[in-house]
Structures are given as C-alpha cells and as structure tokens.
Structure 1
Amino acid sequence: MDHRAVRSPLFCDVALAERVERAEVELIAASAEAARSRRGVAEGFTIPVAGGVASFIEADSPLNKVAGLGFAGSPSAAELDEVEHAFAARGAAVQAEIATLADPALGGLLADRGYRLVGFESVLGLALGDYEAGPAPDGVEVRPSGDGEFDAWLDVVAGAVLHPDVQGVPAHEDFPRDVLVSAMRDMAGAGVRRFAALRGATLAGGASMRTAGGVAQLTGAATTPEHRRHGVQTALLAARLADAAASGCDIAVVTTQPGSRSQQNVQRQGFDLLYTRAVLVKES
C-alpha cells in the first residue's frame, strides 16, 4: 500500500509537540554525555532548565543550544542566569530553539533579556501506522552502516553536508568540518543508528536516526554531490522509516531549513509540517 495514497494530514497539538521536544532534549543530553565519556574531560556542561536542557559540547558545536523550553513552565530568572553565565564563561553565545507551540510568554521573556531572532527551523512529522516502503530507486542500495566503516561514513556525510543544495532560507550558521565530525561521533554514542547508501560499490550517502519513546528522529542525511538526483535521499528516507516502523515507533520527525530541498523531499514522501522553531540568540 502506498502510505501517501489514503491518509489524513498529521495534526500537531501541544501534547505531540511536547513529546517531540522531549525526544530532542534526550538526544542532546545523551550526546553531551557521550562527548564527556569519549574525551575524558569536562569542558562542556548539561544543565536541566524548566523541562528543557542547556548544552555546551565544544566551541562552535551544533549541539550547543537550549532546547525543549516552554512545556513545563517558564524558566526562572535564576535558571536563565545560570545558563547564560555558563555559556559566557566559555565565550559562547546562548542559542535557544523555541517551538511555536511552547508557552507563548517565553518569547517575550527571552526578548526582554536581550535575545534576538536569527532564524527558524521546520519540524515535520509522519504517522507511521502501517508504513510500507515503496520500491527502491534503481541502482541504489541502503543498508545499516557498521562500525568498520564509521570513518568512511563520517567522511562522506560530513563532506556532503558542507556542500548543501541551495534552496529556501539559508541557515543562520555553519560549522567547521572537524567540529561537525565530532558532533556526529557524539550522536553515535547517544544511540543514533547509521545507514549507508551505495551506488554500485561506491558509498554515495549516509543517514542517521534515533528512536526513543515511539518517536523516530531522523537526525541527518546527506548525498555526495556527484551522486545527487539519483534517488539516494529517497532511498535513505524509506529505509529509515521502515526501520522505525519495525522498531515500534508511531511517528517519525525531521527538522529542516524552511523552504529547503530537504523539506520538499520529505513532504513529497508524506510528511506534514508540525510546527516551527524560532531560533533566538543572546551574545556573550
């Protein structure tokens, strides 16, 4: 059965948004713990704050952020002081990612403390239900990626991420390759599953996913420039959705840049826009 043929759009209420944001909080916290274990140093921090988390891994890391606020009451001034001082002590700005379904008072609270809006993220979801993957694109094979090819997988995915398709709203930030690779290692330590896509004998792309509490987080996918427009992204998406459904997840979620090719691709596969995250930054 084509999962896109007969279905109603997925509606996101506050309860579903809170569930998705909790999964994000758990991923960030687990990645921070993996970073500390891997490096054996305590340069970073993880601070619980009003049901969310504030995390710092290393300078310029994509995992440096405050996530999940606004679903367990607003943070107190003392809690925000602690978070802001912790980032400032490391010479880093505070980046807070706030869901539009969070407590509406949160935006004003942060604005009053000097946070400014720098961008948005789209959060999309698909109810898995009786998901069945369609036929794989000709010439593309997707399989789990084992530890033996971890370095090759990292090289392909990091290289592809650094050469994105240009469509939609540009990202407000980019990351050095070594820091991006480091974050991918830490996310792997947090239980993220890896998938490899091959065209012939060539590793053409890779993707990752984390499952927790019935939520499958699609935590990234990339295709090398020379293998784009051959169905690699579609194949990677279908493989992860099938794996998520088989693992007992009832929903898959993905975060994209607004209006991007990635958003277009997942909407073609039946994903619905659930909500947007506003990205607010306070400089140190």
Structure 2
Amino acid sequence: MFCSTELAARLEGVDTELIIAGSAAAAARRPGGDGFTIPIAGGVAAFAEEGSPLDKVAGLGFAGVPEPAELDAIEARYAERKTPVQVELAHLADPALAELFTGRGYRLVNFENVLGRTLHDDPATVRPAGIEIRPSDDSEFDLWIDIAAEGFANPDTQGVASHEEFPRDILANAMRDITAAAGVQRFLALRDGETAGCASMRISRGVAQLTGATTRPAHRRHGIQSALLATRLGLAKAAGCDIAVITTQPGSKSQQNAQRSGFDLLYTRAILVKD
C-alpha cells in the first residue's frame, strides 16, 4: 500500500480529531482545570492533565509551517504546567518542520510507525481455539483498564521499547475521555473463559483507527492479538471504512502481527521533546 502526502494528511487529521475530542472531554471533567487545545499548522497542541497520553503536539506539517511566535506561546503554556513539549512529527510532513524544531532545542527521543491496509476485500476471519472476542461496555470498564494497565506494564521485549509509561489512573482517565467524546469502542478477549486481552477502535472519515491492544503476559502467543485485529477489521469493513491504521513501536511484536494481517508501513513519526 502506497502512502501519499494526501493520505498521510488524512490519517494525521483523524488522529488530531481524537486528541482534540479527548482533551475537550478532560477539560469538561476538570472544570477550572488547566487543559488546552491550540490549533497549529493543521494539527493541535493539547494538554489534558499532567502525565496524560493526550499531552502532545500532533498532526501538524500538512498545512504550512508555524511562526516562531506561535511556538513561543505554546511552549510557554506547557512550561506553565511544568510539562515537556512532545511533538509527534510524521516524516511525510513539511521537511522545514524538522529543521525548525531541532533549531529550537528539541531532542529526538524515539520513533513510532503508522501502518495501514485497505479494506476493499473482506478481512480474513481468525478464530483460534478457545478464544472469544466481544464488545465491552461501561459496566466492564474497570476490568478493561486493569487488563490494559497490566499489558502495558509488561511490554514485549521485541523491537524498540516505548519511551512512555502511564499510571493506571491517568490511563483510565484518558480512555474514559476518548470513549465518551471520540466514540472509541472497547473489546475484550477471553481465552478458555478467562479474560486475557483487550483492544479498542475508533471510526472517522472512513478510517478505522485501531487505538490500542494488549494481552496479559500469561496468555501471550496464543493468537489473541491476531483475533482482536481480525475482529476489528471485520467490523470496520462492515461500517464502510476503506482503510484501517495502527500505530506500533518499530520492530515490535505488534508491528509483526499487523504485517502478517496485511498491513504495510505507511510512514514513521519522530518523537521530539523539549524540556
């Protein structure tokens, strides 16, 4: 699958929608709080609460280059909250941005890969023996977040490790916010009747964002990730999506599973940080 700059702009725009919606929900949850969302170069600078995965500058680079004064103001807002500025910059964005940020003292700390696949054909059905995948409603939210927190606290050692860690309560807040405001759907995986994994998905503009998946360590290597992936792809296809995307750490087991399921590497994001 070939990724043009136009497709990358579409995908980054969908991701920007998610961040804006989640950050707005966080602001509503914390009246009088210090959250913000600021449009910048087609993307957004967002702050939901201290330590949130939504605290980032993302989606920019497909609608011009920001003025230095814009960045001065945004950096000041993060500094007031004693939070580093983290920029997620797609390598298909305007090349002038990389020079701009490095010239302002931003450090390259990591990368993440965005993979995609078309949904013109029906995705393959994956049903490993003993594995059940089903939607998970709000009554199971604590169970869902416990599985997510356990899985993220015990990452696979394959590939490049993430530079981020999120406390359970902060992760729970972010998931509640994006579920309520951005329409994220949650799923549970059961293995022989025992809860073994979880995943989520959001649909917008014909794009299925596979917004996270994890498996409890004791249940890994039994096909749960493949089953979670296939289930969401089937639902996305039925909902009329023409493309599905997933973000992974480079060389990770998640990337390997995605590529086995027909995903191609579309582009890489550089993670730039200024303290």
TM-score, scaled to structure 2: 0.97
- Are 1:216 and 2:197 counterparts? no
2:244 alignment partner AA: A
1:161 corresponds, among 152, 164, 169, to: 152
1:91 alignment partner AA: K
Q: Retained in 1: the 8 A contact 2:126–2:226?
A: no
Distance 2:239 2:120 in 1: 12
Question: Are residues 78 and 162 of structure 1, via their aligned partners in 2, closer, same or farther at CA, if it must alter by over 3 Å?
Answer: same
Q: What is residue 5 of structure 1 aligned with on the other side? A: none
Describe the SS at the equivalent of 2:244.
strand
1:143 alignment partner AA: R
2:225 corresponds, among 233, 243, 250, to: 233
Q: Retained in 2: the 8 A contact 1:168–1:260?
A: yes
Runs (4+) off by over 3 Å: none
Distance 1:184 1:172 in 2: 19
Describe the SS at the equivalent of 2:113.
strand
Q: What is residue 249 of structure 2 aligned with on the other side? A: 257
1:1-284 mapped onto 2 (5 Å cutoff): 10-189=1-180, 190-283=182-275
Q: Deviations over 1:72-94 (max 9, x none)?
A: 00011121111101100000110
RMSD over aligned Cα atoms: 1.1
Q: Percent identity?
A: 61
Q: Retained in 2: the 8 A contact 1:162–1:177?
A: no
Q: What is residue 7 of structure 1 aligned with on the other side? A: none
Post-superposition shift, 1:182? 1.8
Q: Which runs of 5+ in 2 are unaligned?
A: none
Describe the SS at the equivalent of 1:203.
strand
Distance 2:198 2:32 in 1: 29
Q: Which runs of 5+ in 1 are unaligned?
A: 1-9
Distance 1:85 1:40 in 2: 22
Post-superposition shift, 1:156? 1.1
- Mean Cα displacement is larger for which, 173-182 or 255-264? 173-182
2:6 alignment partner AA: A
- Mean Cα displacement is larger for which, 158-167 or 246-255? 158-167
Post-superposition shift, 1:200? 2.6
Question: Are residues 56 and 268 of structure 1, via their aligned partners in 2, closer, same or farther at CA, if it must alter by over 3 Å?
Answer: same
Distance 1:130 1:220 in 2: 23
**Number of residue pairs the alignment of both structures matches:** 274
Distance 1:278 1:60 in 2: 20
Post-superposition shift, 1:27? 0.4
Q: Deviations over 1:126-178 (max 9, x none)?
A: 10112233241111011111111111111111211111111111112222222
- Mean Cα displacement is larger for which, 197-206 or 24-33? 197-206
1:89 alignment partner AA: E
Post-superposition shift, 1:179? 1.5
Distance 2:83 2:106 in 1: 14
Post-superposition shift, 1:216? 0.7
TM-score, scaled to structure 1: 0.94
Post-superposition shift, 1:180? 1.7
Describe the SS at the equivalent of 1:59.
coil
